[in-house]
Amino acid sequence: MRRVLLLLVLIRATAPHSNVTEPNGTEPTMQTTTVSLFQRVLPTAFRVTTKPRRQSIRRGKADSPMLNYIFDSYATSNKHFHDKFKAPSFEGDTSTDDTLLNADTGATVIFDCRVSSLRDKMVSWIRVSDNENLELLTLDLDTHSADARYRVDVAGETWRLSLSDAKVQDSGIYCCHVSTHPPMLRRFKLIVHPPEIIMNKEAFLESGETLSLKCLVLHLNAGEVVPEMRWYRGGNTTPLDEVRGGVLIETDHLTLTSHLQVARLKAEDAGNYTCALEAPLQMKTVARVHVLQGSSLAELQSGVKTTTSYMGLLCTSLILLGTCYDIR
C-alpha cells in the first residue's frame, strides 16, 4: 500500500501541467493525464476503469439479452405455470365406490367425468361387460363404438358421455379412463329398469254402479313418440269405447296413465278388461271384473273389491244359508 501511494505522489509531481482552458473558464484538470500514467505504471490487477460496474442481476433478470428474452416469454405465456406441474385428478366425489345411475327404458343417460390439470393426457370411455371384457367406446373426442347411440362431448374440464334410447341390456359398468401411469379410473354403475304396466287384477261391483280402473306404465320414456293406450273387453280387438256407450277414457301421455270409467254396469259387462300400450312398444295387463246383482252389502273401494270385502260378502251369503258361524 505504501508503494502505491508513493507511485501516485511521483506521478503527480512529474506530470506536465496543461494550459488548456475549460470552456466554462474553470481551471484546467489533470485527471485524464494522471489516470493515463497511472494505468501505465500499475500492474494489470490494479487497472482502474471509469465505467461504473453494472449489477449482474437486476429485478430477477440476467445481463444476457437472450436469457432476458426467454424469461419474459416464459413468464408471459405461463402466468399460471405452477398449474402445469399439477397431476391430473378427478373433481367432485372422490370416493372409490361406483357412482350409481338409474334410468328408464328409452331415456338418455348422461355420464359426467370432470378432470382437472389434464395437460397432455387423454380421456377415454370404456364399458365393462358381464364377462369382464372391455369395450372401448370413445377415445378423446372420437367414437370407437359401432353403436351410434354413444356420443362424447367436452365442456371445459368436463368430459360427457351420452347414451340415447337406453335399453335394459345397456346396464353395467362404465369407466372414465385417464391415460396416466398408473391409469386413473372413475366407475359408473348404470341400471336401466325394464318397463312394466300395472293395474288392479280384480274388481267386484254391483250392477248399476260405475266401473273405475286405472292403468299405469312405469320405467318407460317415450321420447318423441306419442304414446298410444287402448282398452279392450274380453277377446274383442275393437277398443271398448267404440263398442259400448257410457265409456270414458282419460289418458295422460306424460305420466303414461290411463283411467277407464264404465257407467251403469250390467251383468254382461263382467269379464276381462285389458289395458294395452301399443306405442312406443307393446305391453298389456288384464283385470277381472265381477258384476254382482242384488247384493247391497258389496263394499267398493275405487272400483276394486278388497279381500276383506269379498270375505264379508261370502259370510253374508253363508249366514243367509244358516251355515256361517265364524269366519275370520
- Residue by residue, DSSP assigns 44-71 as GGG---SSPPPPSEETTEES-HHHHHHH
pLDDT digits (tens, 9 = 90+) for 139-169: 999 999 999 999 999 999 999 999 999 999 9
Q: According to the model, what pLDDT value does residue 94 have?
A: 67
Q: Is residue 170 part of a domain?
A: yes
Cell representation of residue 187: 366407475
Helix (H, G, I), strand (E, B) or coil at 34: helix
Q: How far apart are the C-alpha atoms of 309 and 300, rounded to whole Å?
A: 8
Domain identity same for 186 and 293: no
Q: According to the model, what pLDDT value does residue 131 have?
A: 75
Instruction: Using the predicted structure, report yes or no on whether residue 214 has a pLDDT greater than 90.
Output: yes
Domain identity same for 169 and 248: no
Q: According to the model, what pLDDT value does residue 300 have?
A: 43
Q: According to the model, what pLDDT value does residue 124 have?
A: 96
Tell me the one-letter amino acid at 311.
Answer: M
Residue owning grid cell 437472450: 66
Q: According to the model, what pLDDT value does residue 219 have?
A: 97
Q: Average pLDDT in the 190-209 region?
A: 96
Number of domains within the chain: 3
Domain identity same for 99 and 211: no
Instruction: Using the predicted structure, report yes or no on whether residue 92 has a pLDDT greater than 90.
Output: no
Q: How far apart are the C-alpha atoms of 87 and 320, rounded to whole Å?
A: 86
Spatial strand order of the sheet with 247-252 comes to: 196-198, 211-218, 257-262, 247-252
Please choose, from the candidates 124, 139, 136, the residue with its C-alpha nearest in 3D space to the C-alpha of residue 185.
124
Q: How far apart are the C-alpha atoms of 328 and 316, rounded to whole Å?
A: 13
Residues 290 and 205: beta-carbon distance below 8 Å: yes
- If you average pLDDT over every residue of the chain, what do you get? 77
Instruction: Using the predicted structure, report yes or no on whether residue 75 has a pLDDT greater than 50.
Output: no
pLDDT digits (tens, 9 = 90+) for 219-237: 999 988 999 999 999 999 9
Q: According to the model, what pLDDT value does residue 1 have?
A: 57
Q: According to the model, what pLDDT value does residue 179 have?
A: 93
**Domain's final residue, options 173, 193, 213:** 193
| CATH number of the domain enclosing 261 | 2.60.40.10
Domain identity same for 206 and 311: yes
Domain identity same for 288 and 309: yes
Q: Average pLDDT in the 277-305 region?
A: 74
Phi/psi for 44 (5° steps) reads -60, -35
Q: Is residue 263 part of a domain?
A: yes
Q: Is residue 184 part of a domain?
A: yes
**Residue 281 or residue 49, greater confidence:** 281
Q: According to the model, what pLDDT value does residue 54 have?
A: 46
Q: According to the model, what pLDDT value does residue 91 have?
A: 85
Q: According to the model, what pLDDT value does residue 256 have?
A: 96
Q: Is residue 125 part of a domain?
A: yes
Q: According to the model, what pLDDT value does residue 271 have?
A: 95
Domain identity same for 4 and 118: no
Q: How far apart are the C-alpha atoms of 272 and 289, rounded to whole Å?
A: 6
Q: Is residue 56 part of a domain?
A: no
Packed helices 2-14 and 31-41: angle between N→C axes, nearest 10 degrees: 130
Q: Average pLDDT in the 43-52 region?
A: 45
Mean pLDDT is lowest, of 96-105, 127-136, 193-202, 302-311, for 302-311
Residues 158 and 169: beta-carbon distance below 8 Å: no
Q: According to the model, what pLDDT value does residue 321 have?
A: 43
Instruction: Using the predicted structure, report yes or no on whether residue 270 has a pLDDT greater than 60.
Output: yes
Domain identity same for 181 and 274: no
% of the chain beyond a pLDDT of 90: 55
Residues 111 and 175: beta-carbon distance below 8 Å: no
Q: According to the model, what pLDDT value does residue 5 have?
A: 57
Q: Is 167 left (phi over 0), alpha (psi -120 to 50) or beta?
A: beta
Q: According to the model, what pLDDT value does residue 122 have?
A: 94
| Residue-range definition of the domain harbouring residue 207 | 196-321
Q: According to the model, what pLDDT value does residue 259 have?
A: 97
Domain identity same for 266 and 171: no
Give the CB-side neighbour count of residue 57, counting CA atoms within 13 A.
4
Q: According to the model, what pLDDT value does residue 86 have?
A: 83
Q: According to the model, what pLDDT value does residue 153 have?
A: 96
Q: How far apart are the C-alpha atoms of 123 and 159, rounded to whole Å?
A: 8
Domain identity same for 185 and 225: no
Q: How far apart are the C-alpha atoms of 126 and 314, rounded to whole Å?
A: 61
**Domain's final residue, options 169, 193, 217:** 193
Q: Is residue 288 part of a domain?
A: yes
**Residue 143 or residue 24, greater confidence:** 143
**Domain's final residue, options 150, 173, 193:** 193
Q: Is residue 142 part of a domain?
A: yes
Q: Is residue 79 part of a domain?
A: no
Domain identity same for 312 and 243: yes
Domain identity same for 164 and 216: no
Q: According to the model, what pLDDT value does residue 305 have?
A: 46
Domain identity same for 175 and 256: no
Residues 210 and 261: beta-carbon distance below 8 Å: yes
Give the helix/strand (H/E) hosting 252.
strand 247-252
Q: How far apart are the C-alpha atoms of 38 and 124, rounded to whole Å?
A: 77
